[in-house]
Amino acid sequence: MKIAVASEKASDPVFRVAGGHFAHAPIFLIYKVDNGVPKLEEIRENPLAAIPDEDAGGHVHHHHHHKGLHGPSKYKYLKDNVLSDVDLIIAGGACMTSIAYFLSEGVSLSFADPGIPADEVLKAAVEKASEGKLPEISVYAWGKLVDPDEIEE
């Protein structure tokens, strides 16, 4: 199992979950989980981090320098070229289009508050996966990963 954590570049030794849409995270921390132990395998740069989404407010349509990558085409590029071997993405946020796309590709998503140390959320994800109960979409709350359906309002 491989897990990608959408992260900010660390100025201190602690990597943290990036805020906002995961497609805009500057880096992805790629962890390989063997026998319930996550190991940081590599740090991948996100070449699309600075490309604004088509529906972002105030976006000027200069598609020639963005390679025309918006919406599903952007997520396909990200999946094919950056996150092709990933089973779970841990992120601060996403849009419905990206969620639908990655779920259709068999990738689970887990959301955590921006700024949470990556190791903390990763530990919860590995525990959940070891129970064989990793839902397609989960939220890091109360120190654990929970299925959104389990949250009472």
Query: How many Cβ atoms sit within 10 Å of the Cβ of residue 58?
Result: 5
Q: SS3 for 146?
A: strand
H-type alpha helices, the chain: 71-81, 96-104, 118-130
- pLDDT band at residue 153 using 50, 70 and 90 as cut-offs: low
Residue 68's pLDDT is 56
pLDDT digits (tens, 9 = 90+) for 75-113: 999 999 999 999 999 999 999 999 999 999 999 999 999
Length of the chain: 153
List of domains in the chain: 2-48+73-135 (3.30.420.130)
pTM: 0.84
How much is the average pLDDT of 38-44? 93
CA–CA separation, 62 and 16 (whole Å)? 32
